[in-house]
Amino acid sequence: MSLFITFEGPEGSGKTTQIRLLTEALHATGHSVLATREPGGTRIGNAVRSVLLDPEHVEMSPRAETLLFNAARAQIVDQVIRPALAEGHIVLCDRYADSTLAYQGYGHGQELDELRALIEYATGGLKPDLTLYLDIPVEDGLRRKLGAGAEEWNRLDAKQVSFHETVRDGYMQLIAAEPARWHRIDCRGPIESIHLKIVQAVETRLQQIREETP
């Protein structure tokens, strides 16, 4: 049975590890799984990713940034995600359209309705069946991502923290607007217990889809 699951959340919430564990668990129960990520996941997408994430590209305009994320998205949807779903795979994607709404929209203040129209164009209207929000306090996530001790943390720009708080508030609004699609997972505990919560959320959604399918 095909299923499209996306993972969202702040930096350092452990998405990569959890996607790997979920892939293994789904394989073990006989599902075919394709795990990918945004921006990236295709040759063209990876080229766009390196343009987007290059720290030297300080002059990048917010609209150019948004278009590049969505160019990579259009490519991965057409080249990877739609074909995999058509073949009956479960597709796991590390970030998807909600990241654009949270980061470019809520975070950088771009017009949400314009972003929604652009996302509709880039994805051809493909929406996830389930979106897992891996939730940890912003400061914990940034600290994990930096891999640094308390001393290093003290030098972190407060602006960076407040930007990520705004992004998180944006995610909370997205979740509130579409509660049936989202599942929020508290990621403060041990890796294994977070994994079990994720497996349970996926199994629940699979069961719902089985019941909805005539």
Binding site for ligand TYD (CB under 6 A): 11, 38-39, 69, 94-95, 99-100, 103-104
Provide, rounded to whole angstroms, the least separation between the CB of residue 52 and ligand TYD. Answer: 7
Residue 18 is encoded by which pair of tokens?
């959890």
Nearest C-alpha neighbor of 38 from the set 111, 108, 103, 106: 103
Nearer to ligand TYD, 88 or 124 (CB): 124
Provide, rounded to whole angstroms, the least separation between the CB of residue 160 and ligand TYD. Answer: 11
Nearer to ligand TYD, 103 or 206 (CB): 103
The DSSP-derived string for 20-70 is: HHHHHHHHHTT--EEEEESS-SSHHHHHHHHHHH-TT-TT--HHHHHHHHH
Closest residue to ligand TYD, based on beta-carbon distance: 103
Provide, rounded to whole angstroms, the least separation between the CB of residue 188 and ligand TYD. Answer: 17
Nearer to ligand TYD, 69 or 201 (CB): 69
Provide, rounded to whole angstroms, the least separation between the CB of residue 93 and ligand TYD. Answer: 9
Please check whether residue 167 is in contact with residue 43, taking contact to mean a CB–CB distance below 8 angstroms.
no
Nearest C-alpha neighbor of 122 from the set 74, 83, 67: 74
What CA–CA distance (Å, rounded) separates 196 from 211?
A: 23
Nearer to ligand TYD, 18 or 100 (CB): 100
